[in-house]
Structures are given as structure tokens and as C-alpha cells.
Structure 1
Amino acid sequence: MNIAICDAIRARRLLRFSYGGYERIVEPHYYGVNTAGHEAVSGWLVGGWSASEPEPGWRMFLVDAMSDVAATADSFEGPREGYNANDPHFVRVYCQLET
């Protein structure tokens, strides 16, 4: 388990990390084990670059593929539209955004 991810979720801080060779900036909402058995973070992409979907929006990131993970000093208001506190894509929850 990555404590920095949970700390960012609890404090509602943006998370900055490298993923697939590109920097990502995300509002982290959910961290746990997905249905495929991988640690993952679900969040709203607000910055950086994504080849699969260039627009801001919901993404799931595999923790093993994330590097240089750090919370920024910037915060976010709260859950984005579409946030599901009972996300069916996860079988175990380490931490999640409180509504």
C-alpha cells in the first residue's frame, strides 16, 4: 500500500506522477485492489497527457506503473460527477474520498 496516495486522498490534494512516460496530474478519489487483482487509483485527470483519452476525465491507473508519486500543494473541492463510493471495479479499498 502506498501511504502517499492515501494521504493525498484524505487531504484532497492533487497527485502528480509519471505514467507511461508522461506526467499526470490527478484528483485521486479511490485507491485499492481492482477486480484483476492489481493495486490501482481511480481519479479525475486534470493535467498531463494521455494518449488514450486526451480530455480531462475519469481514469484508472495501475500503481505498479506509477513512478515519482507525490501530492502537490494544490487541493480540490471534492468528488467529481460520476464518483461512485462503491466502485464495482474494486474488490478491496485502502482509502477513498469522503463525500
Structure 2
Amino acid sequence: MWTQTACAALRSGHVLQLRYDGYTRDVEVHAVGFTNDDNAVMRVWQVAGGSASNEPVGWKLLSLDETVEAVVTTERSMAPRPGYNPADPVMKVITCQL
């Protein structure tokens, strides 16, 4: 699981680069937590990279279990982005957030 890495990116204010769904993605982590089904997820703003939905920029909810690799970059995050909801209804438990 990539919970610690995602929270490290959030706390440091840096972009997280990851492999997800066969694509490299650069994301700004806004919150990391667990769903009602105890799935680890992160709410992110994707700034660059690929996407199965062909939407390379914007809000995403990513499952940490589907992340193949992740590294905190030196690029500064511009979080919080417009529309960020600190009371994310998808997460029953929030591990870290802005």
C-alpha cells in the first residue's frame, strides 16, 4: 500500500508521480483515507499524464491498491484546488488531508 508515500507528498507540498491503470500520472494529493469497504483511496487533482477516461487533468479518486509505483517529486503542488471538499463523503476514515 502507498498510504505513507501519498501522505508524504501531501505533507511536503509536492506532486506525486505514480503508475496507475497503465499510465504515468502526476497528481496533487488532497486527502488519503479509507472507504466504507475499507479500500485505501486518495482524492487527487491530476496535473499531467494519462487516463483511461481521456481526462488527463482534474479530480480523481484513485485506489491505492491499484497503484504500481509512486514517488514524491520536487515539483511543488498547487493544492488546494477549487472544489476540494475536506469532508469527502467517499472516505469514512481520513488518514491525512490538507
Tell me, yes or no, whether TM beats 0.5: yes
3-state DSSP of counterpart to 1:90: coil
Identity of aligned residues (%): 34
The answer as to whether partners of 2:49 and 2:56 remain within 8 angstroms in 1 is no
State the alpha-carbon separation in 1 of the partners of residues 62 and 81 from structure 2: 17
Counterparts of 1:34 and 1:70, CA distance in 2: 23
SS of 2:92 mapped into structure 1: strand
> What TM-score does the superposition give when structure 1 sets the normalisation length?
0.90
Distance 1:55 1:15 in 2: 15
Gaps of 5+ in 1: none
Instruction: For 1:1-99, list aligned pairs within 5 A.
Output: 2-97=3-98
Q: What is the CA-CA distance between 1:55 and the residue it aligns to?
A: 4.1
- Tell me the secondary structure at the aligned position of residue 10 of structure 1: helix
Structure 1 counterpart of 2:91, one-letter code: F
Distance 1:37 1:53, change over 3 A: farther
Q: Which 4+ runs in 1 deviate beyond 6 A?
A: none
Equivalent AA in structure 2 for residue 92 of structure 1: V
Question: Bigger shift: 51-60 or 87-96?
Answer: 51-60
Q: Deviation digits for residues 17-71 of structure 1, max 9, x if unmatched?
A: 1001110110110100023321001110111111214241100100000011111
How high is the TM-score relative to the length of structure 2?
0.91
* 3-state SS of paired residue (1:40): strand
Provide the secondary structure at the position in 2 that maps to 1:24. Answer: strand
* Structure 2 gap segments, 5+ residues each: none
User: Within 2, Cα distance between the matches of 1:78 and 1:63?
Assistant: 19
